Amino acid sequence: MRYLLFILVAAACTSPEKKQPALVEKVSLGVSEVEDYPKYLSDWNLYKEPMNELIPINDRMFPYEINAALFSDYAFKARFIMLPENTGITYDSSEVLDFPIGTLLIKNFYYPEDFKNSKSKRRILETRLLIREENKWEAIVYAWNDEQTEAKRVILGKKVPVEWTDRYGELQRIDYSIPSQPQCKSCHDLGGKLVPIGPSARQLNRDNQLTDWVEKGWLEVPENVHYPQLANFENKDAALEDRARAWLEVNCAHCHRREGPAKNSGLYLLASQTDPYRLGVNKPPIAAGKGSGGLKYSIVPGKPDQSILIHRIESLEPGEMMPELGRKMTHTEGVELIREWISEME
């Protein structure tokens, strides 16, 4: 009898732990597959063979680089634009450029085996396409096979175990998370519409990229255009303020802006934001729940450890972490940067 009680107590103690491995049997509701876009990446005919070298199929498809990239668990990203024949991009000074119907924005996520060795083998995990349709953008995702010969469309996301040696020589291992299709819009949402986030003039303004496109006839700009520029937060020669604000913009402001899905928080983190209260300085949280970490204000100048912002970008707990999606790791260098910025704030 005592033995039985012991078991009961032990069961009571172990079973309610969060994320316990449970036997969950999969049940079908008889729903058919989504079939609106090609099932395989090769159907798009984007790359020369072998596909995993990511060499564009023709000169309407070209690579692009941005100044400040969203943190995605240290994944590298190879980005391309494919423009339809006889079309060009229209300039926009503040938002994403205006791409012609039929444009593809292509982003490949990969990890080199060894970050310190530029010649090391790389493993491509996923390719995301943003497709410019007549009145909207669509987002679809392909997951690469282990052989790196093909990528298959995923609707519901996928976990992929991956490992690499980081720039400090440490072995890293995570279950990389390929997003589900509905999760795409959790970030790619501006005023309720799915939109690209990256290719704005201030992101693309680097190494004569924009002038080069103008020369090639891919981009049309107004006369005497002055390109704005977002800082590269990895560039330690840039001003701390500019680096920190660039990091916040790319990691947070797709939602935390007046037109974004996190507008209800009243916390706006575009680099162009000038009101300190909107940036979170001495601002109490709204609807943060345990995301507040028991702290009172988003940013307390000079006190990173009392700032909710730091708590949330460090956290790995669903329901607390920011961004809500797209990372399993903490961006240590980014958090350091924001810490430094808050420390020096008066």
Partner 1 sequence: MDSFHSSLKPSKFDKIQPSMKYLLIFALALTVACGQKEETPLSWKSIEADLQTWLIQAQDGDTIAIPEGNFMFENPLILDGLSDVIIKGAGMGKTILSFEMQESGAEGIRAANCKNLVFQDFTVQDAAGDNIKITDTNGIRFTNVKSQWTGEPSQENGAYAFYPVLCKNVVVENCIAIGSSDAGIYVGQSDSVIIRNNEVYHNVAGIESENSRWVEIYANNAHHNTGGILIFDLPGLTQSGHTTRVYDNDVISNNHENFAPEGNVVAIVPPGTGIMMMATRNIEVFNNRIHHNRTIGTALISYVLVEIFGAEEGSQLDSANAKVNEEYDPYPNYVYFHDNEFKNKHWFPTFENDFGLLFLRYFTFNLPDFAMDGIWPEDEEFVMCLQNNGEFNFANIDAANDLEGRSTNWRDYDCEYGVIDPIYP
Residues near partner 1 (CB under 8 A) are: 1-2, 5, 8-9, 12-13, 15-16, 18-20, 22-34, 155-157, 177, 180-183, 185-186, 189, 192, 261, 263-264, 266, 277-278, 282-297, 300, 303, 306, 308, 317-320, 324-325
Minimum CB distance to partner 1, residue 7 (Å): 10
| CA distance linking residue 298 with residue 283, whole number of Å | 6
Minimum CB distance to partner 1, residue 202 (Å): 26
> 12 or 171: whose CB is closer to partner 1?
12
**Polymer length of the chain:** 346
Minimum CB distance to partner 1, residue 145 (Å): 20
Q: Which residues of 63-88 are buried (b: 16+ CB within 10 A; e: fewer)?
A: ebebbbbbbbbbbeebbbbbbeeeeb
Burial status of residue 18 (CB atoms within 10 A of its CB: 0-12, 13-18, 19 or more): exposed
Place of tokens 């009680």: 5
Minimum CB distance to partner 1, residue 292 (Å): 3
| CA distance linking residue 300 with residue 283, whole number of Å | 9
> 199 or 261: whose CB is closer to partner 1?
261
> 38 or 112: whose CB is closer to partner 1?
38
> 198 or 293: whose CB is closer to partner 1?
293
The three-class DSSP label of residue 198 is coil
Minimum CB distance to partner 1, residue 339 (Å): 18
> 23 or 171: whose CB is closer to partner 1?
23
> 60 or 263: whose CB is closer to partner 1?
263
State the DSSP H helix or E strand holding residue 153, giving kind and residue range, or none if neither. strand 151-154
Minimum CB distance to partner 1, residue 324 (Å): 4
CA 120 to chain centre: 24
Phi, psi of 157 (to 5 degrees): 80, 170
